[in-house]
Structure 1
Amino acid sequence: MPFASVVDREAVERVGDLGFRRQPVGSGAFVLAEWVEGQRMQLARNPLYFRSGLPYLDGIEVTVGLSDQLGWFKYQRGEIDISGVPSAEFARVVADARYQPLLLERTTLRTQYLGLNCALPPFDQAAVRQAMNMAVNKQRLLDLIDGRGVVATTILPPDMPGYDSSTTLWASRDEGSMRLGQSLQQDLRAIGVELALKPVDFPTLIEAVRHPGMVPLFLLGWEADFPDPSNFLIVLLHSRSRGTNNNAFYANPEVDRLLDEAEPLLEPGRRLPLFHDAEVMIMRDAPWVPLFHPVGFAIRHPRVRNYQLHPLRPSRVETVWLAG
């Protein structure tokens, strides 16, 4: 949660909120040297960084707003050192022996899911929601995104502490979400559930799902702000989160009790089992159909060494170095 970072109050008071955007003060390995909004950021080595001898690089240029396709084009021209891999090129790149040693792969702290509105019939019945969970062919969904994910059998993603392995479906109006929605249509038709896809822009979707009587099913995803089960289970599925992030309008007093008991605890040995018990109950009640946990891919230039993807963005780059 970079937007929630602790910052130096005196520095903010000295330059003001707008000035702090241009002259941020932090404890990271790099400082902001130049920022051309919407285009690029130039970062320079922080000579006061608290880890002795780091970072290895003198600076980094971050290009802002590149699509995977444009980034791939620039990568092939040697204009950038790190790029995503566009869907249209993915199968070819993965199979190419030249690129295989340069590919980076990492599971993320994200879960894509089909939300079922527990406040609307027939999804107010647990048996209906459980049948929905049994009906979905999750592997086929992964095939639609080039296999860039792990089939989800739980709410929490694999790298999360505590991980233990005619109705209208609302979906964001983008090509990937529509392909997933069409696959779900096919699966649910087999158990007698007819879906009409309603593509909307993302802000409209987020506003709509916060009203209990409006959206029966919806496709959404959640990426952890920090690596703790509370950031999924409490934020998304505690009854007090209904109308904000609990868009399934799910409520179970026993789940609430377990989450409330776990939240203030500091000892993982006591805390994580309570979250696990709550997740087991939630999965039994089935307010979601967890679909998959996305896997991140990138490709590096051969000269870039020790660059690793991180489950939480952004990647840490203080130990990255360049070969001669």
Structure 2
Amino acid sequence: MSQYWKQGLATVASVGMIGVLLAGCGTNSTSPSGSNTSTPSGTGQTTSNSKPVEGGSITLDVTQAVPDMDPAIAFDTVSAEVGEQIYESLVTYDKGTDKIIGDLAQTYDVSSDGKTYTFHLRQGVKFSNGDPMTAEDFVFELERLLNKNMQPKPSPGSNFFLNITGAQAFYDGKAKSISGVSTPDDHTLVINLDKPQQYFIKILAMPFLSAVDPKFVNKVGNAAFDTDQAMGTGPFELQKNSQSQVVLVKNPNYWQKDSSGNQLPYLDKVTINVNANSQLDAMHWEQGQTAFMSPWLIGGDGMPSSAYPTIMNSPKYKKLVMTEPLNAIYYIGLNTKKTINGKPNPLSNVKVRQAIAYGFDRSQFVKINNGTVVPDAEPLPTTLEGYVKNLDPDAKYTYDPAKAKQLLKEAGYPNGFTIDFWNQSLDVSKKEDQAFQAMMKNIGITVNLHEVTWKDYLTKVMSGDAQSMDSAWNQDFPDASDFLNTLFNSNQAPENNLTNYSNPQVDSWLNQAQYMADASQRDTLYAKVINQTMRDAVWVPTYQLNGFWSVQSWVHGFYTSNVMYDPMQYIWVDPGH
């Protein structure tokens, strides 16, 4: 399966939706814990009663090179996995939960009307080069996020922050500063919103608004900052980033300690080798060469489908596997633009898209993935608030090649046509591509496959010119809007809305739901959105995931999360235990 992108930076989260508006003067003073509490193996955290061992290193495999190191730019799980080790946000999630706690903000207050957030920053925090972190660093990063002309490319996350007062004016070039953001002193950041937004605090847990060092960024430039010149306050600093390897080393200036007062991180070094051969990745882990496999590294559900039978049928390996449901969905996207590269696009015809939906057999994809995935028929995971249990009859698609052929005939394509299909060049992705190609051939459509690197794939699909593609979404924060508003609102095209879908009625429903405090009313609107997008056959949903983490017995302090990436600052190694 392909590497999904978020998230999430991730940027990712739990099953529930925040059902009530933040009210009163809420204060959160919890700090991230560094303890290593013992829990039974296989339930989400590695077991260890030993004292953490400082030092040492681990080696990991990743299926694709890191496309982006700049937290303002990174919006895929591969980049997020590495970036989260280097950068930190105002808030984060507590270990293995969807509870928001302070990160670089030690505490924060929310006004009674839900529109003003005051963050009290930790004092004494430094970037890995020794420069002190201040509240102005977040203002600098927010202005980068909202600079639509930033070179070499603007942030894909700007829309998450346009509810901040003055953000739209700054984004449009009508203001030189963001009026809703202020810094009363070096350790206080105030953010004012135009409207209360129940999930705003979880947007801030995403990596976009991380602390970055203005002096460093201005010195090296945006292009270098996005490739091999990272500088953050996180537990690790970047030593190397190439197409073949990423090397992280301990940040000597990291602020966080564990509950016993030990300096984090425990590890001195993390080496991540880029290897697109997932079978080889599994073999490396089975041989003990790599510390763990995870969804953020290996892609998809974290375990190569080819290795699933071997690992899960082996008593030796199975006991080392931890599982966690992931709010992640895969889909085949169908570009709705009238023309692509100057040529008429058959996919702009709704009957053609519906024909493709009727011509798709989900069971084949489940079989290719050895049963590790769950077939999905709509744009939300079954585990997320807002999922529609019973779609409208005209929004459901069963496998019916005869009906698909009839729809193509009605659309004016009795003899079919040819489309271009984009995906990553990974083992299971190729098998899925070939299966899809055969399904479409069965109804008269010829599919030209373009299987490329993760970076080239992102560049193509986010340009808006990929005619069709295999894609996926892993939630950034626990709310249906992160899927529906991000992926179907016309104002998100083409960076997130890869299909260039534009339906004024859907936009209206999405925009209304964004700021509703009543959960049932939001669910009603989102149900309308889901049924309409399925009726319009913008996507062919394929499957959703369970996450598998395969963790060596000598790796301690590891825990799973569908909210955060792998917790490398808490990991320690001891081959003797």
* Shift of residue 303, structure 1, vs aligned partner: 4.3
Distance in 1 of aligned mates of 2:436 and 2:529: 27
Deviation at 1:168, TM superposition (A): 1.3
Q: C-alpha offsets along residues 158-181 of structure 1, whole Å, 9 cap, x if unaligned?
A: 444433453214122514333212
Render the CA deviation track for 1:72-94: whole Å, top value 9, x for unaligned.
Answer: 44434444432354444332112
The equivalent of 1:184 in structure 2 is: 436
Whichever residue aligns with residue 257 of structure 1, its letter is: S
Are the equivalent residues in 2 in contact too, given 1:57–1:321 (CA < 8 A)?
A: no
Match of 1:102 among 299, 320, 337: 320
**Correspondences of 1:187-266 after superposition (within 5 Å):** 187-190=439-442, 192-201=443-452, 206=458, 209=461, 215-266=466-517
Is 2:353 aligned against 1:129?
yes
Deviations 1:6-47 (A, max 9, x none): 474367558633799666325xxxx23774544432447998
Change (3 A) 1:260 1:44: same
Q: Separation in 2 of the partners of 1:159 and 1:311?
A: 12
Q: Considering only CA atoms, is the larger Rg found in Structure 1 or Structure 2?
A: 2
Name the residue aligned to 2:397: none
Q: 1:35 to 1:143 in 2, by over 3 A?
A: same
Count of aligned pairs: 318
- Report the alpha carbon displacement of residue 321 of structure 1 after superposing the two structures with TM: 7.5
CA gap 1:215/1:316 in 2 versus in 1, 3 angstroms:
closer
Who is 1:24 aligned against? 232
Quote the Cα distance in structure 1 between the aligned partners of 2:253 and 2:383.
Answer: 30
Given residue 64 of structure 1, which amino acid in structure 2 is its aligned partner? I
Counterpart for residue 150 of structure 1: 374
Deviation larger for 66-75 or 150-159 = 66-75
Is the Cα contact below 8 Å between 1:153 and 1:290 reproduced in 2? yes
Q: How does 1:109-124 map to 2 (within 5 A)?
A: 109-120=327-338, 122-124=346-348
In structure 2, do the counterparts of structure 1 residues 216 and 22 end up closer, same or farther at CA, with 3 Å as the change threshold?
Answer: closer
- Report how far residue 224 of structure 1 moved: 2.9
Any idea what SS the aligned residue of 2:509 has?
helix
- SS class of match (1:183): helix
8 Å Cα contact 2:376/2:541 also seen in 1 = yes
Distance 1:65 1:250 in 2: 37
1:108 Cα shift? Answer: 2.8
Structure 1 segments unaligned to the other structure (5+ residues): none
Q: Aligned in 2, Cα 1:130/1:13: closer, same or farther, shift over 3 Å?
A: closer
Measure, in 1, the Cα distance between the counterparts of 2:271 and 2:562: 21
| In structure 2, distance between residues paired with 1:199 and 1:51 | 47
Q: Deviations over 1:60-119 (max 9, x none)?
A: 343323535555444344444323544443321121122112112333333221122333
Counterpart residue identity of residue 301, structure 1: Q
Cα pair distance change 1:55/1:14, threshold 3 Å: same
Give the superposition deviation at 1:48.
Answer: 5.4
Indicate how the Cα distance of structure 1 residues 127 and 168 shifts in structure 2: closer, same or farther if over 3 A, else same: closer
SS at match of 1:221: strand
Counterpart residue identity of residue 95, structure 1: N
1:138, distance to aligned residue in structure 2 (A): 0.9
Cα separation, 1, equivalents of 2:252 and 2:521: 41
Amino acid in the other structure paired with 2:373: G
Distance 2:263 2:371 in 1: 35
Q: Distance in 1 between matches of 2:331 and 2:373?
A: 13
For 1:272-293, what per-residue CA distance to the aligned partner results, in whole angstroms no more than 9, with x for missing partners? 4432331222122211101112
Distance 1:49 1:269, change over 3 A: farther
Which residues of 2 match residues 32-43 of structure 1 at below 5 A? 32=236, 35-37=239-241, 38-43=245-250
Contact 2:258-2:264 within 8 A present in 1 as well? no
Paired amino acid for 1:32? F
SS at match of 2:512: helix
Q: Are 1:144 and 1:180, in contact at CA under 8 Å, matched by a contact in 2?
A: yes
AA partner of residue 434 (structure 2): Q
Q: Tell me how large the CA RMSD over aligned residues is.
A: 3.8
- CA apart distance, 1:155: 0.7
For 1:273 and 1:129, the matched residues in 2 are separated by 25
Residue 287, structure 1, aligned to residue 569, structure 2 = no
CA contact 2:256–2:263 (8 Å) conserved in 1: no
**For 1:42-53, what aligned pairs fall within 5 Å after superposition?**
42-43=249-250, 49=256, 52=259
Aligned match of 2:3: none
Segments of structure 2 that go 5 or more residues without pairing to the other structure are 1-8, 11-70, 73-88, 91-103, 105-132, 138-211, 295-302, 339-344, 390-416
Secondary structure of 1:167's match? Answer: strand
Contact conserved, 2:285 with 2:292, CA < 8 A, in 1?
A: yes
SS in 1 for 2:499: coil
CA distance in 2, matches of 1:39, 1:243: 29
One of 56, 59, 83 as aligned partner of 2:266: 59
Q: Percent identity?
A: 22
The DSSP-based 3-state class of the residue aligned with 2:319 is helix
Paired position in structure 2 for 1:93 = 311
Please tell me whether the aligned partners of residues 107 and 158 of structure 1 are also in contact (alpha carbons under 8 angstroms). no
CA distance in 2, matches of 1:147, 1:231: 27
> 2:531 is aligned with what amino acid?
V
* Structure-1-length-normalised TM-score: 0.78
Q: 2-side partners of 1:70 and 1:178: how far apart?
A: 16
Kept after mapping to 2: 8 A contact 1:81/1:304:
yes
Residues 1:103 and 1:56: Cα distance change in structure 2 (over 3 Å): farther
Alpha-carbon spacing, 1:25–1:209, altered in 2? closer, same or farther (3 Å)? closer
Matched residue SS, 1:129: helix
Letter matched to residue 25 of structure 1: T
